[in-house]
Amino acid sequence: MTNASDATGWNSEYRSGRWAFLRDLPESGRYGIIGMWLSLTGNLESVLDVGCGEGLLYERLAPMGLRRYMGVDLAPAALELASVDSDVASLRAADMHTFTPEGEETYSAIIFNEVLHFASDPAAVVSRYRPFLKRGGVMALSMYAPNRTESGANRLIAGLWNATDDPEKWRVLDDYQLYSHQKDVAWRLRLITPISH
């Protein structure tokens, strides 16, 4: 099944329950890795979750001491399904290619969890968000990695990993390949920080 390509399509998919499986136990591993990365690097202060969907990452980070959360998603219907504490969290419907924080707001962590496949140039999207990151902040990248090594998704991952291997721009703090035997699905995850602002 092909994924939606605009807000109307994504709204329809969320309303039909197509993405409800993301709450399933076999999906939890990548959320756990991201949560521990932010906890261990001290970056739960302010999190920007790009492509947040129903706010599942918020639900996992809240018990860990998350102080401030901004979830951004193209689909208003996904945000309507999110259950967040408005004292801690804000949600905004926006495209990842054009989103800008209000005022001079910056974040201690920016998360791209299963959203960069929908960009023609994931590395350009990640670079675009560098100014929104506080000094010492981190970016967490998580991308579905199909079994077919020559798939378009794996080519996007290879291009992004190659771009973030640039030692003049990024420092790679951690790098994972996660595999769910239950689902026969793999993900690539990487934690990076800019070399300088």
User: What is the tens place of the pLDDT at every residue in 113-130?
Assistant: 999 999 989 999 999 999
> Which of the residue ranges 3-7, 13-17, 89-93, 151-155 would you say has the lowest mean pLDDT?
3-7
With pLDDT > 90 as the criterion, what percentage of the chain qualifies?
76
pLDDT at 61: 96
Q: Is the pLDDT of residue 109 over 90?
A: yes
Q: Which of residues 6 and 153 earns the better pLDDT score? A: 153
CATH of 7-194, one of 3.40.50.1820, 3.50.50.60, 2.40.40.20, 3.40.50.150: 3.40.50.150
CA distance linking residue 61 with residue 76, whole number of Å: 22
Q: Which residues, other chains included, contact 150 with Cβ-Cβ below 8 Å and sequence gap of 6+?
A: none
pTM for this prediction: 0.92
pLDDT greater than 60 at residue 166: yes
Contact status, residue 140 vs residue 37, Cβ threshold 8 Å: yes
Cα(106)–Cα(47) distance, integer angstroms: 9
The model's confidence at residue 197, banded by pLDDT at 50, 70 and 90, is very low
For the chain, the domains span 7-194
pLDDT mean over 7-15: 78
Mean pLDDT of the chain: 91
Q: Do the Cβ atoms of 164 and 190 come closer than 8 Å? A: yes
Dihedral sign, CA of 167, 66, 35, 128? negative
Q: What is the pLDDT of residue 2?
A: 60
pLDDT at 106 over 90: yes
Q: Is the pLDDT of residue 155 over 60?
A: yes
pLDDT digits (tens, 9 = 90+) for 24-39: 787 889 999 999 999 9
pLDDT class of 79 with cuts at 50, 70, 90:
very high
pLDDT score at 165 = 96
Q: Torsion angle of alpha carbons 181, 187, 188, 194, nearest 10°?
A: -130
Which residue shows structure tokens 């970016």?
A: 139
Q: For 80-92, what is the mean pLDDT?
A: 94
